[in-house]
A and B are shown apart, each in its own frame.
Chain A
């Protein structure tokens, strides 16, 4: 069974750094892309970027380039999303999702990681 399991909820202060994770199992992790999707409270879905764990090739949405860093460690089947300096506006649910090719639909999703940034 394909599974993407994300790290737990985080509460941070503005200016702090954060790295959340997404661990894949049940499939060849290096042969599929992993995307990150943001959902702000009460809002819709926004594609942030995508990584191919096989070679760490990464593409960012222009809206998120420079704001976050997407990475992966194929030795432990895990993708990451990180911030160097959080803002209150980063408060959201973050999902990882799997796709077969870089421009595709997402056939499996993580359960989501809620990030709350508040002073």
Chain B
């Protein structure tokens, strides 16, 4: 199984801050990584796929980078609507798709 480890698990930040979330894979997954945003009581929403491709309609303040085993999601200037939990997901193998444990972005 490919394990996905996110850090930090919780992040306190203010509106306007630059925020970076890290996701590490237990083995190389090339660029087969997606990022999702989930708000309380709602389904996850796709933000980034193939490590750095922005999903249509997602604000450009969101960006993704990385390959192999280390990936980052960056929010360039945190907005009030961005307080949520973020998950990474690897799709290197169809035998077992796995998600990271999540990073909750809270208001400082």
Residues of A within 8 A of B (CB): 35, 44-47, 50, 59, 61-62, 95, 97, 102-107, 109-112
Binding site for A on B (CB under 8 A): 32, 34, 36, 42-46, 49-50, 55, 87, 89, 91-102
Asked whether A44 and B46 contact (CB < 8 A) given A105-B34, A105-B91, the answer is no
Majority secondary structure of chain B interface residues (helix, strand, loop or mixed): loop
Q: Is the CB of B94 within 8 A of A109?
A: no
**B97: chain A residues within 8 A (beta carbon):** 35, 47, 50, 61, 103
The chain B residue with its CB closest to the CB of A96 is B43
Interface centre among B34, B43, B91, B102, by most chain A C-beta atoms within 10 angstroms, is: B43
Q: Is the interface of A mostly helix, strand, loop or mixed?
A: loop
Q: Which residue of B44, B45, B49, B99 contacts A46 across the interface (Cβ within 8 Å)? A: B99
Listed A/B pairs (13) with beta-carbon separation below 8 Å: A44-B87, A44-B100, A46-B99, A47-B98, A47-B99, A50-B94, A103-B32, A104-B91, A105-B46, A105-B49, A105-B50, A106-B89, A107-B46
